[in-house]
Amino acid sequence: MAEAKGLSKPVKLKSELAELLGATELPRTEITKKLWDYIKTNKLQTKTENGKAENAGKYIVADAKLLTIFKNTNSTSKSGKLTNLTQMKEGETIDMMQMAAVVGANIE
């Protein structure tokens, strides 16, 4: 059987993410899926930036568990966009498009 490559290849998770997802290694696709499952189960989406959680919308509200993961994120994308969530507070939001940066910052 062929070795998994790219997004299907398991990567090692940093401790905070491993604790939330209950695994030490997962493919990036599975990390994203499990994060979205957690967000939807806990109704942590909102339609407005820094709005109250309402279980729908493009913004993700940081609860205590997500905050530990979000605060690890300080990266620059290939296009030059900075994503620095190190000073984020519980109840603040991120745009769902920042999830790739969050995942990238929480794997080794």
CATH of residue 40's domain is 1.10.245.10
Q: How confident is the model at residue 79 (pLDDT cuts 50, 70, 90)?
A: confident
Domain that holds residue 98: 10-105
Say which residues have a Cβ less than 8 Å from residue 42's Cβ, sequence separation at least 6: 63
Does a structural domain hold residue 87?
Answer: yes
* Torsion angle of C-alpha atoms 63, 68, 70, 72, degrees rounded to 10: 170
**Whether the Cβ atoms of residue 83 and residue 100 lie closer than 8 Å to each other:** no
Tens digits of per-residue pLDDT, 25-54?
999 999 999 999 999 999 999 998 888 888
> What is the model's pTM?
0.87
- Within a domain: residue 67? yes
As beta bridge partners, residue 60 has: 45, 94
**pLDDT band at 3, cuts 50/70/90?**
low
Residue 4 lies in a domain: no
Return the percentage of the chain with pLDDT > 90, whole number.
72
Instruction: Report the mean per-residue pLDDT for the chain.
Output: 91
Q: How many structural domains compose the chain?
A: 1
DSSP 58: S
